[in-house]
Each structure stands twice: as C-alpha cells, then as structure tokens.
Structure 1
C-alpha cells in the first residue's frame, strides 16, 4: 500500500492502483517515445506491482499499529517470485520488462540472502533468453524498460503527494529519449511536465484511494475490514503543456 498521512487520518492507495495510473501515463505518451510491442509494454506497466503479499497477522501494520506504507515494510521477494511466475503466461516481452524491474528493485539487496542472490541470477538468465526470443538487443530492451521506470516514478510522485509547493520544480527521471524530465505544480492547480512527453497538450489522469479515520489497528484483519468498508474515491490530476 501507499499510505499518506492527511488531516482526516490515512489516505491509502493500493499499489496495484498505482500501476494502473502508471499505465494511464504510458498510454498518453508521444508515439516517438513508445517502444515496440506497445500493448504488451502497457500490460507490463499496469501489472508491475501486482501479486502483493497476503497479510498474516500484522504484515500490513507498523509497530505502532498504523497502516504501513510499502517503504516501511521489510524487503521480501515473495511478491516478486509470484509476479514472475504469473507474467510468464502473458508474453516474453511482458516477462522481459517485468524481470528488468525486479532487477532494478532487488539487485542492491543481493548480498542479504542466498535466496535473493539466486533470484537475481535467475533474472539475468531469464532476460537473456527473453531478449533472444523477441529479437531485441540489450540496449533496446533497456530503452523500453526506461518507459516503465519513468511512468512508475511519475505515478509514485503523484500518489505519494510529493509535488513541491510554491511552483518549485521536481525531477522525475530520465525518459526513453535520454532527456531528464521535471514536474511542477502550478498555482492554477494544473501540473506541468517539461519537456512535454505526451501526445495531447492536456490530459487528466486518476487513481482510486480510500480514507481511514482510525489511526491504529490491532491486526491485519481489522485493517482489511476497514479498507473494505471505506468509500472508494478518485483523485484526479490535470497535466498541461
């Protein structure tokens, strides 16, 4: 989950919903910024945070009993393994991009356990097989993955309320064209992205969220029930050139 502290309590966005927002951003990119196998690229972006871990006990809570943002949870590759098992049935291209994302997320954790190291080795070999299968070299694969990384980062900026105040500029990350992109929240509430990467001069994107007024929970079951009962709301952003 993505958990933001707000005046009413907690704003909760499921990571799968964040993936849908990332896919919305990708769908609107200029054709020149798109990769081969574009539909499959969108699928990989939308699904990149699926197969989240099932809670058992207090997995979804901090030590204080608050809903736990994903950044506060211990590193585990359980979700990564489940996701990689699932995408194998979609396509080699989806598998390739998803595997590259797993490498991006977990390669720095390689030395923490033999299990993680083995998983990382598996991804290196898998990516090589997938590149050969779909007929792309490593450079083209990396350029395609940059699209996923860019959309993922921009979606997280929006979902985590990271936009600076007073029209200050925030770096997103480098795009597939090698340019570094920046974002700014304007006084008229529109959001400016520069250089402009989208096909249209203006677009609206949204994500579903839930608000929890209770600040602490005794266990995962209580939190899950509260989330289930919470009204589904939608947060919308207007991106303008």
Structure 2
C-alpha cells in the first residue's frame, strides 16, 4: 500500500493501481527513446504488472499498531513482502518470460544488501530464475540484447519512480514540500536527458 499522509487523514493507493500508472507512462514513451520495438509490448507489460503480487495483500491492508497507520510498501513485514514479490513475478512469468525477467531484476535490486536469510534465499532463487529466463529469451551472451534489457529495466525503474512521485505528493506541491526521494529529480538517468535526473513538478 502507498500512503499519502494528510493532517487528519490518509490517502491509500494500492500498489497495483500505482503500477498501472507506471504502465500508462511507459505506453506514452517515445518509440525513438524506448528502443527495441520488438520487446516494447512485453516491457510495458512488466511495467504495468510489476506490483500485481500486492493485489491480495492490499485488498486487506495490514495495520501497524506501533505507528497507528497502515503498513506501507516500505515498512511492510519483510517475509510477507518477499512473498508478494515472488507471487507477482510468478504470475507475470505466465504472461511473458521477458516481462518476468524484468520484474525479477527490479525486485532483486531492492534486496541486494539485505542480510535476512529469507531475503537471501529469495535472491538466490531469483538469480536462478533470471539465468533460466535469460537463456530462454535468447539474451544470455548477446551483448546487444543484454544492453537492451538493462535499458528496459531502467525505463521500468523510472516509470515506477515517477508514478510514486505522483502518488506520494499532493498535486501542486512546492519542491520543499515534496517527498524527499524526488526533490533532486527522477532517476535512473538517460542519454536523451543528458544523463541527469529528470526534474518534475
């Protein structure tokens, strides 16, 4: 769940709705800058569906009694969070191997420094999955295809971040009042934007 806090209330936005916004952003990305037209549909699918593992969890938000508010995607109990990650990646793989590969890499980046044994097991299992999918998608060992994959992963991450920016900030918020993650722009960076974070308002 994504929470926007107000003075006397909370706005709750489901992860899957947030992902749909990410997908809308990706769908409108100029083809010239998206690259790899033959994979665009699958990449947009990954971006639109990357949080589908949260659908069931967000249908019954988990209450954080210590904070007196609903758990968010950031402080959600780790074991349950990882279960959502795996569920989503499994479901996306049934739709598209390439999309699942992108989702797996996206989630793995969140846990790369996590020492919890459950997280480490997830990382090992996903590494095995990605190796299998890289082979099945004909990417492994092909530098051009690997570069394109990492470009699509960057687009996923950028669209994810812009959607979070939209969900977490009040419309028209001044820079000093924005959620701190985004005050210096949206990353990752792209050559068409001079390899700098893109400023948004």
Q: Tell me the TM-score range normalised by the shorter chain.
A: 0.7 to 0.9
Instruction: Decide whether aligned partners of structure 1 residues 177 and 122 sit closer, same or farther in structure 2, where only a CA change above 3 A counts.
Output: farther
Greater strand content: 1
Superposed, 1:124-139 pairs within 5 Å as 124-136=127-139, 137=142, 138-139=146-147
Unaligned runs of 5+ in 2: none
Instruction: Decide whether aligned partners of structure 1 residues 93 and 177 sit closer, same or farther in structure 2, where only a CA change above 3 A counts.
Output: farther
* Distance of 2:150 and 2:163 partners within structure 1: 20
Q: CA RMSD in A?
A: 2.7
Instruction: Decide whether aligned partners of structure 1 residues 176 and 92 sit closer, same or farther in structure 2, where only a CA change above 3 A counts.
Output: farther
Instruction: Report the TM-score when normalising by structure 2.
Output: 0.79
- Residue of structure 2 in register with 1:172 after alignment: 186
Q: Does 1:181 align with 2:197?
A: yes
* Distance of 2:67 and 2:188 partners within structure 1: 37
Instruction: Report the TM-score when normalising by structure 1.
Output: 0.67
Residues 197-229 of structure 1: per-residue CA shift (max 9 Å, x gap):
xxxxxxxxxxxxxxxxxxxxxxxxxxxxxxxxx
Superposed, 1:155-170 pairs within 5 Å as 155-161=163-169, 164-165=174-175, 170=184
Find the structure with the greater CA-based Rg: 1
Match 1:61 to one of 48, 60, 64:
64
Greater helix content: 2
| Pairs aligned (count) | 183
Residues 138-182 of structure 1: per-residue CA shift (max 9 Å, x gap):
333212111101100111111111864379963101245472232
Give the 3-state SS of the residue equivalent to 1:88 in structure 2.
helix
Instruction: Decide whether aligned partners of structure 1 residues 144 and 66 sit closer, same or farther in structure 2, where only a CA change above 3 A counts.
Output: same
Runs of 4+ in 1 over 4 A off after TM superposition: 166-169
